[in-house]
Homo-oligomer: A and B are copies of this chain.
Amino acid sequence: MTGPKIRVFVDQPLGPGQAVALDEARANYLFAVMRLGAGDAVHLFNGQDGEWRAEVAEAGRRRGIAVCADQTAPQGVPSDLWLLFSPVKKDRTNFIVEKAVELGAARLMPVSTRHMNSERLRTDKQQAHAVEAAEQCGATWVPVVEDLQPLDRLLAGWPEGRRLYWADEARAGAGGGWEAGSPGEPSAILIGPEGGFSDDERARLAARPFVTPVSLGPRILRAETAALAALTLWQARFGDWR
Contact = CB atoms under 8 A, between A and B. Distances in A.
Contacts of A236: 217, 233, 236
Contact of A138 (B219, B228, B242): B219
Interface stretch (A24-32, A39-47, A58-66, A98-106): A98-106
B225 A241 contact: no
A74 interface: no
Nearest to A235: B217
B221 A102 contact: yes
Interface residues of A, number: 30
Given A225-B102, A225-B103, A228-B225, A217 B241 contact: yes
Contacts of A91: 91
Interface string A156-198: 0000000000000000000100000000000000000000000
Contacts of A136: 220, 222
A88 interface: no
Given A95-B95, A232-B232, A233-B232, A240 B218 contact: yes
Contacts of A216: 241
A109 interface: no
A175 B139 CA distance: 18
Nearest to A196: B4
Nearest to A221: B102
A219 B144 CA distance: 18
A215 interface: yes
A216 B137 CA distance: 12
Contact of A241 (B95, B218, B235, B241): B218
A91 B98 CA distance: 14
A225 B222 CA distance: 15
A17 to B, nearest CB: 28
Interface string A137-153: 11100000000000000
A229 interface: yes
Interface of A: 91, 95, 98-99, 102-104, 136-139, 175, 215-222, 225, 228-229, 232-233, 235-236, 240-242
